[in-house]
Amino acid sequence: MKHGLMILLFSFVAGVATAQSTTTWLIYASTNSPSHPFSRADKIWIRWVEEASGGTLRIRAIWGGALISSNQSLLELRHGIADIGTITPIYVRGGTHLLRTQAGFYSGAKTFEQQVALYRCLAADSLQYARETEGLIILAIQGGTLPGILTRNRPIYRLDDLKGLRIRVPSELVRVMRDLGVDAVTSPMVEVYSALAKGILDGVVAAPDPMKSMHFSEVAHYYTRLEVPRGAYPARAMGLRRWESLSEAHREILEASITVWEAALSKEIAEADTTGEAEGRRQGIVFIDIPPADQRRFDALYEKDAERSARALGRFGIEGETVFRQARWIVRGIELTGKVKCGEVGMNLIHEGQEDL
């Protein structure tokens, strides 16, 4: 009897050891809280990967910036601080000159899907994108809805109403807003609520989502629907060394998961903006439409600044003007045909669209 129990015990232990040896664990690190819309998309991706792999790929998530930071995320992944993580190249202080600047080239690409497709067109034709993400495998490109301007106490009916306000803006928008008389700052979004509450900031360029997810509707009263362009960027990545350590089957699953992750991000961002606007209205935020003439003026300023930024990349040996011109060709195609087409195909579509007008 005792002998039989020992056999059963050894069989059980061997079975557990075998199961553990066939399961690969990956650490996923995020700078966002577990309830953030981006994190909800991450959780959809995690479930998909684990189910698609039959449980042989398991992912442990560490949220809230406990393991990875916004401004060092690329370096941290390259050195294996985490296996997979959120990356924010627009906040990295060095080595991502084109990735930061190209975020200003997307005026006219208004949907998440258009922005992601445009990014892939540009990245396919410029080796600089790969240089700036060297040592990483990109697992998701992220776009988003167009932000407006949320202000504490001063409603913005026209662009001239911005003069003298201190507003938190994305880095690619700093010079445009300063040209409009704004005291533009680029503090992290996690600091904005406190700064608005204390009156340190008069406003923030943001989509409706943070009205709920970051409680901005508690400290602001007006939202102006100025369409501020936003660019796509690589947002989820894996360290190359960890990638190469995986089996071919597991790499294929992660490659297949790219479209899943991007679709989840698109869905969660759209839903978050809807619920954010609803919360803003519930809290009494007044929504304001900007006059079309002011929108056109803003668009012209934005494009002029983007071209200036592209030209300035030359001091780093980067052909930013070439990337900028290609982006504008592709956006012109979107405006004429509703389609995102790369390279010569895109230019042909533009010519066809012009002939149809």
The pTM assigned to this predicted structure is 0.86
Model confidence pLDDT, tens digit, residues 174-200: 999 999 999 999 887 888 999 999 999
Mean pLDDT within 51-75: 95
Q: How crowded is the C-beta side of 335, counted as CA atoms within 13 Å? A: 12
- The identity of residue 354, as a single letter, is Q
Model confidence pLDDT, tens digit, residues 140-178: 999 999 999 999 999 999 999 999 999 999 888 999 999
Q: How confident is the model at residue 228 (pLDDT cuts 50, 70, 90)?
A: very high
Residue 6 has a pLDDT of: 40
Q: 10 Å Cβ neighbour count for 11? A: 10
Q: How confident is the model at residue 343 (pLDDT cuts 50, 70, 90)?
A: confident
Mean pLDDT of the chain: 90
Check pLDDT > 60 for residue 352: no
Residue 353 has a pLDDT of: 44
**CA 21 – CA 273 distance, rounded (Å):** 43
Model confidence pLDDT, tens digit, residues 235-251: 999 999 999 999 999 99
**CA 44 – CA 59 distance, rounded (Å):** 12
- Is residue 333 a contact partner of residue 341, using CB atoms and an 8 Å limit? yes
Q: How far is CA 264 from the centre of its chain?
A: 13
Q: How confident is the model at residue 106 (pLDDT cuts 50, 70, 90)?
A: very high
Question: In terms of Cα–Cα distance, which of 149, 184, 172 is closest to 231?
Answer: 172
- Is residue 210 a contact partner of residue 38, using CB atoms and an 8 Å limit? no
**CA 302 – CA 291 distance, rounded (Å):** 17
